[in-house]
Amino acid sequence: MRWGLLGTFFAMGLVNYLTRALFTVLVPRGGIPPFWERFLGAIPVAALTAMVVPLLWSPQAAQAGLIPWPALLGAATALVLARRTHGLLIPSAAGTLSFLLLSRLLSVSS
Partner 1 sequence: MDSSRLARFRRGFLDYLPLALLIASYGVVFGALAVRSGLSVAESCLMSLTVFAGASQFMALPLIREGSAAWTMVLLALMVNLRHLLYGLAIGRMFPRAGLLRLLVISFGIVDENYAFVTVGPGRERVTPAYFLGTGVGTYVFWNLSTFLGALLGIGLGSIDVSGLDFTASAVFVSLVGSSLRGRRDWLVAAGAAALAWVVKAAAGGSWHMLAAGILVPLASASLAGPRRPQR
Residues 37-96 that bind partner 1 (CB under 8 A): 38-60, 62-63, 70-71, 74-75, 78-79, 81-83, 85-89, 91-93, 95-96
User: CB-wise, 35 or 108, nearer to partner 1?
Assistant: 35
Q: Quick one: 42 or 66, whose CB is closer to partner 1?
A: 42
Find the shortest distance in angstroms from Cβ 41 to partner 1: 8
Find the binder of partner 1 among 22, 66, 67, 106 (CB under 8 A): 22
What one-character DSSP code corresponds to residue 45?
Answer: H
Query: Of 82, 14, 12, 17, nearest to 48 (Cα)?
Result: 82
How far apart, in whole angstroms, are the C-alpha atoms of residue 71 and residue 87? 20
Distance CA 20, CA 8 (A): 19
